[in-house]
Structure 1
């Protein structure tokens, strides 16, 4: 019979009252008489004793009573090697199903192993909860600057009513509709641009806080600022390069349509510009996700702009859809939280403005300074809460990808002072 773990040859089973390594009897006994020396060699049965011991009773080993002590480990099976202990509670050989793997060390907000989606989101929230003074202080500073720029642009520069009037007019010409779409795209693009800059700056400033939270180390606002300040010029260059790359690719798709419109075919040119922009927007989205980890790489690795972008591209390679999905989920949750905060302020601003809520709903984009200021205050509060979520997801994704690719958890465990840590027992996340 083939020897497998837990099985042995029946012929090697000991009889009752004997152990496997006990020496056998050296002299004949009454129960085991020997065959006579002149036995017939042609009759094999003559060599066996007439009195045989009872057959061995094979059964599962009895479970010992619970004495409160840990039972000794089972002896190694010949030919199968030794199973080292696999965790607390006497779990041996967890790969064979005798219990789960040992839990990963968790000195901070995340366990030091590849992370799942829920652990990344929970880590972002846990960082904000554990270091709320530093996190909310930095986020508030970025939110105030960002929303002040937005309010000034909407009140002084952007004409948001110019686009909606033509779009709401059923008798508008193709040229008027084209100009209205241009106004709307320009206004939306400027606001998205400011929001992207604020998110990148918040991610860079909070990278140090989140990385310290991973190993359970506190950090003050002054320490985070002193750590980020030397990289300030490189951060500005990185933000400018990413924005030029993203919006440049998107605008390049509209160039053929613009040329056709200038040649005299306004309607076909407008349609071609819209289709071209939609096509290149997909490429721009791919680039945004590809270089989305460049900001934490710049701040935590103290690299240059080009090196940080190449590091992000290397970490995202082969995991684009995962990075995109987690960041999209994080942005969705952040926007829901922001809407809960911003909507009441928007309704209050509409009620206190000249036309009231009904006038705001009918006039649409006819905003006044009262409306812009009150709604801007709500946007500051919303951004102060949502910046840590978006930034936390991005930085923890960077750390997670480095754990998966470069075993960063070993360095983090040493930095946290975890003794005897090994990543061999880590369980990958989803």
Structure 2
């Protein structure tokens, strides 16, 4: 008996014709089963119909054409690349993106970043030039020393110049720590493609100047005290043990350097946190310590590579400067005497310090930009800052503020504006407002 066609009513007695089975129904014969392409589906027509004759697919009314359904397979959301409104994409960053974003930030905000760094480097260059000329005059006076009394008298000015050199280094480090926090303003604004002028940068960083000074003073004082403690311990060991103290002093010195680098990187982001998030001194240090948790080696690698790059560039620039200084000395003073040597030294010192200040301002601005982008990257990884930046990008709110600071968008505000699409979200999936 053949299988009844699909859609026909059964016989009047309610039972299909044919041999009775234990399960109460008849089975269709083997050769009369429907073909694979024509098997009916529950609740609707077949979804995979066999192609009809003539090369034309005849579809049921209201049904899509055979083949893959539109959109992503199996209902998976489509991938949409994160937006990049400014110098970096709004997602956790890679090393190359940090370097590229730093270069672009300096290029777009040259007046604010390069100008501020040049001021600090010029101040340091003036003090370094004064110390260099003083050391030269002192060395010339030491050549005429003929007795121990005269040598003892000359040691006072020598120690004073050494202390002056150390003081200049400390001053440059102190100002650099403050300027690092100020330069985070144009970097964070460049993430949303907002340019920052010189005056605007200092105005936005103004509320955080006092905490920046406090953090810079605390870090500088802590470094000096730690160095003094290590030097004092080394002197005591040499006094008590003699040359054999080297066995203890060398491990002590290496261990101190490791601890200093570790703590320095852990607290490196405190200036950025103070300016962007508006925290105090203690909260800024604690914020930096928490942000760098489980990311120390990555930060160390990026900082080390950038420092090597900057050092190589500075040395390449200083080579022609040294050659030019030697050539100038040979032209100005072919037959050296004390007066001509002094004038030549003044001229070459001015030239070298000026070029050094220019190179130092560029390298410092680049290093500060890298540090600021590391801060933004860690906040996107830990705090979801990229979502807040997308919100600011869509709403356009607070155009003159610092992105990443205390949120200026309330939870009741409409986002996206005017009912527009959500960035980097597949259709049909909308984030919580």
Q: Structure 2-normalised TM-score?
A: 0.68
**Structure 2 residue ranges without an equivalent (≥5):** 39-47, 57-63, 141-158, 336-341, 396-415, 427-433
Aligned-pair CA distance for 1:289: 0.4
Give the structure 2 partner of residue 124 of structure 1. 102
Out of 29, 32, 35, the residue aligned to residue 52 of structure 1 is: 32
User: Which residue matches 1:318?
Assistant: 294
Shift of 1:383: 1.2
2:256 corresponds to which residue?
280
Correspondence for 1:351: 327
Equivalence for 1:82: none
The unaligned stretches of length 5 or more in structure 1 are 1-22, 76-88, 163-181, 360-365, 426-430
> Which residue of structure 1 aligns with residue 119 of structure 2?
141
d(CA) in 1 for partners of 2:380, 2:252 = 39
- Residue 357 of structure 2 is matched in structure 1 by 380
Contact 1:247 / 1:284 at 8 angstroms: preserved in 2?
A: no
Task: Look up the match of 2:152.
Answer: none
Deviation at 1:194, TM superposition (A): 4.8
For residues 323 and 188 of structure 1, do their structure 2 counterparts lie closer, same or farther at Cα, with a shift above 3 Å needed?
farther
2:189 maps to what in 1? Answer: 212
Shift of 1:270: 6.1
What secondary structure does 1:353 align onto?
helix
Match in the other structure for 2:407: none
Match of 1:327 among 294, 297, 303: 303
Question: In 2, are the aligned partners of 1:250 and 1:281 still within 8 Å (CA)?
Answer: no
Tell me if structure 2 keeps the 8 A contact 1:35–1:48: no
Q: CA shift at 1:393, angstroms? A: 0.7
- Deviation sequence 1:92-146 (CA, Å, 0-9, x none): 679x6x97x3111211111111111111111111101222232222222222122
Change (3 A) 1:272 1:352: farther
Q: CA deviation at 1:236?
A: 2.1
TM-score, normalised with respect to structure 1: 0.68
Distance apart, 1:315 and its partner CA = 0.4
| Alignment partner of 1:243 is 2:225 | no
Q: 1:190 & 1:307 partners in 2: Cα distance?
A: 28
- State the shift of 1:74 in Å: 6.1
- Check 1:50–1:225 CA distance in 2 against 1; reply closer, same or farther (3 A cut): closer
Distance 1:354-1:240 versus aligned 2 partners, 3 A rule:
farther
Q: Secondary structure at 1:417's aligned position in 2?
A: helix
From 266, 270, 289, the equivalent of 2:265 is 289
The 8 Å contact of residues 124 and 389 in structure 1, kept in 2 or not, is answered as yes
Say yes or no: does 1:226 pair with 2:203. yes
Q: What is the Cα deviation at residue 303 of structure 1? A: 1.7
Classify the secondary structure of the residue corresponding to 2:183: helix
1:290-330 deviation per Cα after TM superposition (whole angstroms, max 9, x unaligned): 10001111111222111111110010111111111111222
The 1-side partners of 2:49 and 2:114 are apart by 61
Shift in alpha-carbon separation, 1:273–1:189, aligned structure 2, 3 A: farther
- SS in structure 1 at match of 2:174: helix
| Whole-Å separation in 1 of the counterparts to 2:136 and 2:249 | 22
CA 1:50–1:204 in 2, change beyond 3 Å: closer, same or farther?
closer
CA root-mean-square deviation: 4.5
Cα–Cα, structure 1 residues 155 and 211, in superposed 2: closer, same or farther, change >3 Å?
same
Q: Per-residue deviation at 1:51?
A: 5.3
